[in-house]
Amino acid sequence: MRQIDVLWFTTKRGNFIPEYAFEVELSTGVWSGVGRMGTLTDYANVGLYVIANDAKKFEQVSRSLDLPERYKFIANEKLGDLYAAELKLKDLRIDIGL
């Protein structure tokens, strides 16, 4: 679990439980990131996300997984779009006083 790029936790009954896991695979293979997140499959509600620039490779890898529906693909350029949109939303909230 220590090798996973980003882990977000939630608390349940005083314990920290993984809620989201993100693997950024821009220069390394998708397989390695999926393999690292495989350590979290015992946690039923963890969202597993692979951020990469090769959707075809992700599809190939996910077809060979036991639980392919657990893993979600995010194109790295979409993550940049999301970040830009969040910044605009923050500015808009400040402008209107929220």
List, for residues 11-55, the tens digit of each pLDDT value. 989 999 999 999 998 877 788 888 888 888 888 889 999 999 888
Q: How many structural domains does the chain have?
A: 1
Assigned domain for 20 exists: yes
Query: What ranges in the chain are assigned the alpha helix state H?
Result: 30-37, 55-63, 76-96
Assigned domain for 1 exists: no
Assigned domain for 59 exists: yes
Assigned domain for 88 exists: yes
Amino acid at 42: D
- C-alpha 66/C-alpha 84 separation (Å) is 35
Domain of 67 in residue numbering reads as 6-96
- Which is it for the CA torsion 46, 50, 55, 61, positive or negative? negative
Assigned domain for 74 exists: yes
CA 80 to chain centre: 14
> Mean pLDDT for the chain?
90
State the pLDDT at residue 41.
Answer: 81
pTM (2 d.p.):
0.81
